Chain A
Amino acid sequence: GAGVSQTPSNKVTEKGKYVELRCDPISGHTALYWYRQSLGQGPEFLIYFQGTGAADDSGLPNDRFFAVRPEGSVSTLKIQRTERGDSAVYLCASSLGTANTEAFFGQGTRLTVV
């Protein structure tokens, strides 16, 4: 596609449920990033993939959060046993993966845990 695509655009879930958020990066981009943005804050890094492998997952807040990118393209962010504090906009970005190349962000998925 022309840009980074994230689905769904909005997700409302009940506390304790499991959710999956999907990211389709720009074709040919080897690097993929997940960020979380709370209201009134800047994006916070979660995890970075180079190809199929997680090159840096130091931003994942706890073991309820997990992300995969099995074929080096589409990525899924998975959140188990959701909590109200997980409510935020989850942003995905992709880039060519070489140094100093621009990361292009998707529109995000707004997750609301009730």
Chain B
Amino acid sequence: GQQLNQSPQSMFIQEGEDVSMNCTSSSIFNTWLWYKQEPGEGPVLLIALYKAGELTSNGRLTAQFGITRKDSFLNISASIPSDVGIYFCAQAKVGGSQGNLIFGKGTKLSVKP
């Protein structure tokens, strides 16, 4: 079935370091979404990408929609303690409705002050 492979599974970094994580799929998609989830909260949308090759920034976050349309990466520059959380990539399910999203398993980010 349709699956998203996220890596790395977890990251332990020092405050101030840059972070990079990615998501790959065997299928081609038209949208890539990146969410962040903090403990006890629901996911919050960080960046949405709608076109192959698109590079979008949101503050210290930058995400790119891979040219092959099968991958995407998320970078965080100059990490701070509040970046701690789980980062998920997500896709609309092929043949599904707009609300039917497939999520990766997440990258858990820990930042040491």
Contact = CB atoms under 8 A, between A and B. Distances in A.
B43 interface: yes
A103 B99 contact: yes
B70 interface: no
B41 A107 contact: yes
Contacts of B50: 100
B78 interface: no
Interface in B56-113: 88, 90, 93, 96-106
Contacts of A99: 98
Contacts, number: 62
B26 to A, nearest CB: 17
A61 B90 CA distance: 20
A44 to B, nearest CB: 7
B interface: dominant SS: loop
A33 B101 CA distance: 10
Given A42-B106, A45-B93, A100-B48, A56 B43 contact: no
A59 B97 CA distance: 11
B112 to A, nearest CB: 22
A33 to B, nearest CB: 4
B28 interface: no
A108 to B, nearest CB: 6
A48 B48 contact: no
Contacts of B48: 100, 102
Interface in A19-70: 31, 33, 35, 40-45, 48, 55-56, 58-59
9 contacts: A41-B106, A42-B90, A43-B101, A44-B103, A45-B100, A48-B100, A55-B97, A95-B99, A107-B42
Q: Which 9 A-B pairs have the closest CB atoms?
A: A105-B42, A42-B103, A48-B99, A56-B97, A33-B99, A45-B100, A102-B45, A42-B88, A48-B97
Interface of B: 31, 40-45, 48, 50, 88, 90, 93, 96-106
